[in-house]
Structure 1
Amino acid sequence: MNKILVTGGNGHLGKYIVNALLEKGFKTAVLTTQTNNSVQNNIEFFTGDLFENHGLKEATAGAEVVIHCASNPRNFQQIDIEGTKNLLQAIDRNSIKHFIYISIVGIDKSDYPYYQGKLEVENIIANSGVPFTILRTTQFHDFVLNMIKALESQSAEFDSITIPSGLRFQSVAVQEVAALLASLVFEFPKGLMRDFGGPEVLHLEEMIQTYFEVIQNNKNLTLNKPEDIRHKLFTTGINLCPENNGGKQTWKEYLVNIHHKTE
Structure 2
Amino acid sequence: MRIAVAGGTGTVGSRVVEVARECGHDVVVLARSTGVDVTAGSGLAEALVGVDAVIDTLNIASIDRKTAERFFTTTSRALLEAEREAGVGHHVLLSIVGIDAIPYAYYQAKLAQERVVEQAGVPWTILRATQFHEFAGQMAGRLRIAGMQLAPRMRTQPVAAREVAERLVALAEAPAAGRSADLAGPREEQLADLIRRLVRARGSRGPVVPVSLPITGMAEMRQGAALPGPGATLGRQTFDEWLRAASASSVE
Query: Smaller-chain TM-score range?
Result: 0.7 to 0.9
Match of 2:182 in 1: 195
Report the residue type matching 2:100 in the other structure.
D
TM-score for the superposition, normalised by structure 2: 0.88
Residue 135 (str. 1) matches residue 135 (str. 2): no
Report the residue type matching 2:132 in the other structure.
F
Q: CA deviation at 1:185?
A: 2.6
Could you tell me which of 34, 44, 49 is aligned with 1:61? 49
Give me the identity figure in percent: 30
Q: CA deviation at 1:245?
A: 5.2
Summarize deviations over 1:200-221 as a string: whole Å, max 9, x none.
1111233234335544554444
Could you tell me which of 215, 224, 233 is aligned with 1:237? 224
Question: For 1:26-175, what aligned pairs fall within 5 Å after superposition?
Answer: 26-34=25-33, 45=34, 47-74=35-62, 75-92=67-84, 95-151=87-143, 153-156=144-147, 161-164=149-152, 166-175=153-162
Summarize deviations over 1:178-231 as a string: whole Å, max 9, x none.
011111232111100111101111112332343355445544443333224465
Whole-Å Cα distance in 2 between the matches of residues 245 and 64 of structure 1? 25
* 3-state SS in 1 of match to 2:100: helix
Report the residue type matching 1:31 in the other structure.
L
Whole-Å Cα distance in 2 between the matches of residues 73 and 114 of structure 1? 9
Match of 2:23 in 1: 24
The 1:205/1:110 distance shift into structure 2, 3 A limit, reads closer
Whole-Å Cα distance in 2 between the matches of residues 141 and 6 of structure 1? 21
Please say if residues 49 and 55 of structure 1, whose CA atoms lie closer than 8 Å, have aligned partners that are also in contact.
yes
Could you tell me which of 149, 168, 192 is aligned with 1:181? 168
Match of 2:13 in 1: 14
Q: CA deviation at 1:79?
A: 2.3
RMSD in angstroms over aligned alpha carbons? 2.2
Please say if residues 163 and 222 of structure 1, whose CA atoms lie closer than 8 Å, have aligned partners that are also in contact.
yes
Larger radius of gyration: 1
Unaligned runs of 5+ in 2: none
Report the residue type matching 1:260 in the other structure.
A
TM-score for the superposition, normalised by structure 1: 0.84
Whole-Å Cα distance in 2 between the matches of residues 212 and 79 of structure 1? 32
Greater displacement, 214-223 / 171-180: 214-223
Please say if residues 20 and 178 of structure 1, whose CA atoms lie closer than 8 Å, have aligned partners that are also in contact.
yes
Greater displacement, 217-226 / 248-257: 217-226
Report the residue type matching 2:10 in the other structure.
G
Q: CA deviation at 1:93?
A: 5.3
Unaligned runs of 5+ in 1: 35-44
Whole-Å Cα distance in 2 between the matches of residues 134 and 239 of structure 1? 17
Please say if residues 169 and 202 of structure 1, whose CA atoms lie closer than 8 Å, have aligned partners that are also in contact.
yes
